[in-house]
Structure 1
């Protein structure tokens, strides 16, 4: 997963019979997915993404398994320094074809995949910039904007909720970057804050 997850500007309509996802559960799975991604623990990423697909997108188990394979393949393609962005995008498009059918998303899979990859690319660029900065600070607004476009395509929520969720997920990503960049002063606390920001992000979308 690493960054495996969500974006856009067209509105999303969830199937009315589907209950909303549990923000705490999704936050836990995403935080755990980040840990597994940066450890390059692909079996763990796979297992967590099966659970995420079931929880957030309400996929049937067989679909969730195949969709998790798409995410793992996208993550493996994107992970190296000399990464394969077109390959990652193709895998994400296959994932979003399944997600939009399961969750009744209006945005097309091609657009969703492009928005997701944009977030991944922006996140990596900003993480490297902050790591190299003397005080490890930097502007994360480009990541907020990228996530806001993604969330607008994935969630049927008011603009202020979309913005709030994007800000909180960007803050979570910045906390992860402190850990992976080697400049965290309290790794355990930063991981706790990652999950807390994600709970706020997904809670604001309900």
Structure 2
């Protein structure tokens, strides 16, 4: 029996991984828990600023399972591209450096596209995602309202709703970013709690917007 289990377990595990990665699956992206997604997004912010790429990778995979219903193993493949793009960008100094994150952002959004019942414009989503990352660093030329507008456009395209319906998402998320930047190295647990609250409001507004806008 022990010998049977010795070869049976790896066989079953391999079958699970292959099925998880290859069997097509399409879901309604509108269905997610906004509070849980906000919690995980906040944890990812901390991992990014504290330069913890492995933790960010793990948290991103969990976020993908909660927000876009990615299967277990596939969530890690998609998350790899998200985490890699984030830290390639983080170490960049100019637009040429930042653009090195674009292939992984394309792969990230392609992973989401393969899961979505409705098609995602992968190239547009990746370009807009990277662009708001960039203009946030170029704040002398690009005020926060532009960051908010691009973030709003990304989710509007992802969920197929008019941008005007989800402006609160971009506004609240940008408010959280500005507060994080203001606090800098002096940030405290209470500050992170305030950021979490803003993110929770942001995702709650997004959830309401995409479900009301998409209602029959």
Deviation at 1:200, TM superposition (A): 1.1
Larger radius of gyration: 2
Correspondence for 2:83: 72
TM-score (norm 1): 0.79
Aligned counterpart in structure 2 of residue 149 of structure 1, from 129, 153, 157: 153
- In structure 2, runs of 5+ residues without a counterpart are 1-25, 208-216
Residue number among 110, 114, 127 corresponding to 1:101 in the alignment = 114
Cα distance, 1:21 vs structure 2: 0.8
Question: Of residues 141, 144, 149 in structure 2, which corresponds to 1:140?
Answer: 144
1:73 & 1:63 partners in 2: Cα distance? 16
Residue deviations 1:141-169 (CA, integer Å, cap 9, x gap): 11111112112112244544311111111
2:17 maps to none
CA distance in 2, matches of 1:28, 1:55: 11
Could you tell which deviates more after superposition, 148-157 or 42-51? 148-157
Question: Given the two structures, how large is their TM-score scaled by the length of structure 2?
Answer: 0.75
Where in structure 1 are there 5+ consecutive unaligned residues?
1-13, 130-137
Deviations 1:71-124 (CA, angstroms, capped at 9, x unpaired): 111012101142622221110100110111112342321111101101111222
- Report the counterpart of residue 124 of structure 2 in structure 1: 111
Tell me the matched-pair count: 180
Counterpart in 2 of 1:57? 68
For the residues of structure 2 that align with 1:69 and 1:159, how far apart are their CA atoms? 29
Say which of 174, 177, 190 aligns to 1:170.
174
Secondary structure of 1:161's partner? Answer: helix
| 1:202 aligned residue | 203
CA shift digits 1:24-59 (9 cap, x unpaired)? 111111111010011110111011001011011111
Instruction: Report the counterpart of residue 189 of structure 1 in structure 2.
Output: 190
Q: Which has the higher contact order (CA 8 A, sep 6+)?
A: 1
Paired residue secondary structure (1:63):
helix
Instruction: Give me the whole-angstrom Cα distance separating, in 2, the residues matched to 1:105 and 1:178.
Output: 38
Distance 2:163 2:104 in 1: 29
Q: Shift of residue 60 of structure 1?
A: 0.7
State the SS of the aligned residue for 1:205. helix
Q: Is the 8 A contact 1:161 1:204 kept in 2?
A: no
Counterpart of 2:9 in structure 1 is none
- Which range is displaced more, 150-159 or 32-41? 150-159
